[in-house]
Amino acid sequence: MITIKTPATSANLGAGFDCLGIALKLYNIFQIEKYDHNFLENVDEEYNNDNNLFLRAYRLGCETIGKYDPIHVIFDCHIPISRGLGSSASFIIGGLIAASVLHNNILSEAEIYRLACSIEGHPDNIAPCLYGGLCAGMKIDEKHFSSHKLPIHKDWKYTALVPDVEISTEETRAALPDHYARTEVATAISNAILTSQALQESNLPLLLAATHDIVHEPYRKKLIPNFEIIQQIVKEDTDGILLISGSGSTCLCIAKKELSTAARLKIASLPNHWQCLQLDIAYHGTEIER
C-alpha cells in the first residue's frame, strides 16, 4: 500500500486572514490501494459513507484525470476535527494525491492545489498542507488560486492549545462584520505584511505588534472559552503571542521559548479539557511513502 501523510495547519496567524498559514507536525495518515469497491477502514460511522471528504476529493481527482478506480483507505488520523487545525484541508489534499499517485502521478502539484482550493474555498490551509512551512495564498477568482512559500526563522516555538470544543467555520464566519472601515483595512494589510516579516526575522517585538488583529480575532475570541485567561498565562510565561488557529477553537502560542510545565498545568486545569501540544513546523508539507 502507498502511504500519504498530510500535516495539520494553522491559518491566519493573527492578521493574515484567509491568506497566511503554517504547517505543523501533527499528521493524518492514509494507506491506500486500488480495490474492487470503496472501502474506508478505521473511520467513525458518521464519516464512513460517500460524503467522506477524502473520498469526495478522490472522486474529483479521478474525474479530472478521466479514470475512476474504487479505493481502499486505512485512516490513521491525529488532527482533531472542527478545531481550527486544518483537518478538512488534510482530507482534501490526501484524497486528491491518492487519485494522482494511483494513476501514475498524472496530476501536478499546481493542479492538486487548484482543485483543493476549489473544494475548500480559500487557500490558507491548503497551501501549507501541500507545500509545507509558512505559505501565503491568494484567491484570484472562483477557479484560480496562487500561493507562495515564505521564509521563516527556525527559532520559533509553537504550542497548539486544543480544547474539547467544536466550532464550525460557518459559525465563526457568521460572527464577522460584513464591512470594515477603510482605516481598518489599511491597518490589516500592514499587519499581515509585517507578521510575515517578523516570522522571517525572528523579531518578537514586531510579531507582538503586527499580530494585533482587527479583522476576525476580536469577534471569534468570544466563541472560545477562557481565551483571555489563557492569553494572559501565555504572555506571562513565554512573552509570546496567543493567536486563534484558523477559526478556532484551537489557539496557537508562538514564542521564543516553550510553554512551561506550570503554565501547561494551569491551562489543563481550566474547563473544556485543554490539551497542550508542542509542535514543530512541517517544512515539507504532504509526504508520500511507497
**In this structure, what CATH number is given to the domain that contains residue 96?**
3.30.230.10
Residue 187: what pLDDT?
Answer: 94
pLDDT of residue 170: 79
Indicate whether 82 pLDDT > 80: yes
- Please tell me whether 86 is known to bind a ligand: yes
State yes or no: 87 annotated in a binding site.
Answer: yes
The one-character DSSP state at 272 is: T
Residue 107 is predicted with a pLDDT of 97
What's residue 142's pLDDT? Answer: 80
Query: Residue 140: how many CB atoms within 10 A of its CB?
Result: 9
pLDDT category of residue 143 using cuts at 50, 70 and 90: confident
- Residue 182 counted as an annotated binding residue: no
132 is in an annotated binding site: no
What pLDDT digit, counting tens, does each position of 157-209 carry?
A: 999 999 999 887 778 888 899 999 999 999 999 999 999 999 999 999 999 99
Number of Cβ within 10 Å of residue 288's Cβ equals 14
Question: How many residues are listed for the chain in this entry?
Answer: 290
What are residue 7's DSSP bridge partners? Answer: 27
Position 168 scores a pLDDT of 78
Shared domain check, 39 and 167: no
Query: How much is the pTM?
Result: 0.95
Q: Is 84 annotated as a binding residue?
A: yes
pLDDT at 167: 83
Q: Are strands 287-289 and 134-141 parallel, antiparallel or unpaired?
A: unpaired
Q: Which residue has the cell 474555498?
A: 121
The pLDDT > 70 percentage for the chain reads 100
Instruction: Kindly state the average pLDDT of the residues 84-92.
Output: 97
d(CA 38, CA 20): 35
pLDDT tens across 14-49, in order? 999 999 999 999 999 999 999 999 999 999 999 999
- Which residue segment(s) compose the domain that 257 sits in? 157-279
90 known member of a binding site: yes
**141 or 152, greater pLDDT:** 152
**251 shares a domain with 141:** no
**223 and 85, same structural domain?**
no
pLDDT for position 284: 95
Domain check: are 172 and 104 in the same one? no
Same structural domain, 147 and 186: no
Percent of the chain with pLDDT over 90: 91
State residue 41's pLDDT score.
97
Q: Is position 85 annotated in a ligand binding site? A: yes
In this structure, the answer to whether residues 147 and 27 fall within a common structural domain is: yes
The pLDDT tens digits for 93-103 are 999 999 999 99
β-pairing, 39-41 with 71-77? parallel
> Which value, in Å, is the radius of gyration of the alpha carbons in the chain?
19
Are 100 and 210 in a shared domain? no
Q: What is the CATH number of the domain that holds 231?
A: 3.30.70.890
Q: Hey, how many other C-beta atoms are within 10 angstroms of the C-beta on 273?
A: 10
